[in-house]
Amino acid sequence: MNDAFKQLAKDLLRFKKLFILAFVAALLNAICFGAGLGMFKSASELLFSSPDDGNILANNIQPIVDKIQVVADKLSDDGWNVISDQTVANIESALHTIVLWMPEKPMHAWVLVLLVILFLTLIGNTGRFLHEYIVITVVMRTAMNWRARLMRRVLNGHVQLLQQQGQSDHLIRVTNDTAVLANALREIFGRTAGEMLKAVFGIGTAFLLNWKLTLLALIGAPAIAILLRKFGKTIRRASKRALGRRGNLAAILLESVSGIQVVKIFGAEGFERRRFSNVNRQLYKDEMKMRTARALSSPVVEMISMVGVVIVGAVAGWLIFEHDQPPSELVAVLLALGASAAGLKPLSNLNNQLHESAAAADRITEMLAMPQEPLGIHAKDLPALPRHKTSVQFDNVAFTYASQDNPAIEHINLTIEHGMEVAIVGGNGSGKSTLLSLLPRLIRPSDGTVKIDGTDINTINLRSLRQQIAVVTQQSILFKGTIADNIAYNHRHISREKIVEAAKLAYAHDFIENLPGGYDYELVEGGKGLSGGQCQRLCIARAILRDPAILILDEATSQIDAESEAKINAALHKIREGRTVMVIAHRLSTVVDADMIVVMDAGKIIDQGKHDELLERCDIYKQLTLNQMVRT
């Protein structure tokens, strides 16, 4: 059992009272099981008895009392005076009192023994149900908490790290890995633990009946332990690989489905099918190694256990047939050992599940250990940022992605006065989006500082910073729900009038009204069914409703027709009063009227100024303008 498994299993201790109740129920089941096995000795004696043997039940009292006395003496010699002579006498007196009510005829006694066994079975199975039900409840509630914690880690994780790991891997860890671990814990603390406890009481009963034969039956225990360890290692290695393969499989499936139009147009169905099949085949091989080890372990353990029972049976037969030992006790020992062997059978599954779930536990704890953005309690101790009203400043800023050697941006010095509309232009890979990602602290600069109104944004409460910023990206992000819900995203109590007002400013109101249900029209995943321009106008409406002090448009109008783009730009000019607007645009025609245009190339600011000024002195801007005119 590895540290990750232990760490997650400790979460079950949040429900200590329920666990204690489950243990009591399992103990009740085990006691009834052991007592039922003990009753079979009396049943055997009744079967093999003759009419002259007297009251069999009464004859069994003294052997029982003698065994209790031996146990008491042994405990006393070891310093444990837990069973006094008076207690033994009280037990003997109680047994004699019970026998007075017992029938003397063998047939009647036989029926009574069977009824007692049936009653013990009923009580035991009631305890078994309560035990497993409570364990299932505790494990499922714990799994629910794990999924919530993992979701919190994803939402509060650093954007760059989340993008590197991939959404499919997170999906598998939150759904599949938690299910694997929960199923293992449910089996371990539920059925397996109950059966193991029953097996312990069964072996205890066998020891009380005949300790020598019982000890002989356990001769194969060391061999079982060694084999289980070997099987477990194989299962754990294969399980960890299989979990990773499932993540790869999910990634291919998500990519194929999300890009299905490209797949079909390029005739790549066969390519995607082969790509999926390769990983699917590798997953099959890993799962087969794991399942083969699991399938082999149970028969091997059962075979070794049966060898022990057969040896005991042979010895018991020798004692009965060669030395005229009474068969009732030996038959009862064999029955107890056989029942205990059946109870120990889940031991192999327990070992397999421990190793299989250990791989899932490793992946879950890795995710729980992901670095987080400072949004918790400690972040509340930081001062809140007052509403932006002075300037935004990039002071000698540089940033390098972990996967790259060269900086994405470097030596960036830029001051933007409050209320300005600033356009950032440049070729692909020039660092435009990276620069603006620094402002809401989606990434942190490797060097330099970003300041708002003279305050380093690393020294302020992150929520107070992001509450003042709205971002509309080139990729339209919409969620499953109504159009009104998407526009009012994270504004649960906003009025419908304000939602409509924001939609009108984004020139989205007209097409929304023409949809079935209007603002209550249900969007499917990703906003499929709407055009790219319609999706982006909804995203712009969402940003407008936020009433940001800083509005960032990262190529936000790239999928909108020229007429809509002109209307949106007019709307943005209307709402820019009292806020700072930063625009990254493909179409330079949309930024010619900006207060300042910043030209970037290879991660550096090459020039900045008005449109006409840059046309006169900046060769890169001239080339960008020329290329735009050619494309137009």
Ranked by mean pLDDT, the top range of 144-153, 218-227, 521-530, 573-582 is 144-153
Structure tokens at 307: 């060898």
pLDDT tier, 396 (very low <50, low <70, confident <90, very high otherwise): very high
The CA distance from 365 to 4, in Å, is: 6
Query: What does the buried/exposed string (b/e) look like for 205-243 if buried means 16 or more CB atoms within 10 Å of the residue's CB?
Result: bbbbbbeebbebbbebeeebeebbeebbebbbbbbbbbb
Residue 450: strand pairing partners? 394
Written as one string, the DSSP assignment of 526-544 is GGBTB-HHHHHHHHHHHHH
Mean pLDDT is lowest, of 202-216, 427-441, 507-521, 600-614, for 202-216
**Strand order through the sheet with 391-399:** 409-417, 391-399, 447-452, 455-456
Of 71-75, 114-118, 578-582, which one has max mean pLDDT? 578-582
Give 336-354 pLDDT, tens digit per residue.
776 666 666 666 566 666 6
Two tokens, residue 93? 């007196």
pLDDT band at 377 (very low <50, low <70, confident <90, very high): very low
Residue 511 has pLDDT above 80, yes or no: yes
Buried b vs exposed e over 340-362: b needs ≥16 C-beta within 10 Å? bbebbbbbbbbbbbbbbbbbbbb
How far is Cα 214 from Cα 334, in angstroms, rounded to an integer?
A: 9
Tokens representing residue 331 in the block? 């038959």
pLDDT on residue 632:
46
Question: What pLDDT shows up at residue 476?
Answer: 78
| pLDDT over 90, % of the chain | 6
Kindly report the average pLDDT of the chain as a whole number: 76
Sketch the domain layout of the chain as residue ranges: 3-55+102-240+298-368
pLDDT at 458 exceeding the cut of 80: yes
Among 264, 573, 598, 554, which residue's Cα sits nearest to residue 415? 598
Tell me which of 1.10.260.40, 3.30.365.10, 1.20.1560.10, 1.10.10.10 is the CATH number of domain 3-55+102-240+298-368: 1.20.1560.10
Question: Which run of H or E residues covers position 455?
Answer: strand 455-456
How big is the chain by its Cα radius of gyration, in Å? 37
Query: Residue ranges of the alpha helices (H) in 78-192?
Result: 85-100, 106-156, 159-165, 167-172, 178-187
In the chain, the amino acid numbered 626 is L
pLDDT number for residue 38: 67
pTM, to two decimals: 0.65
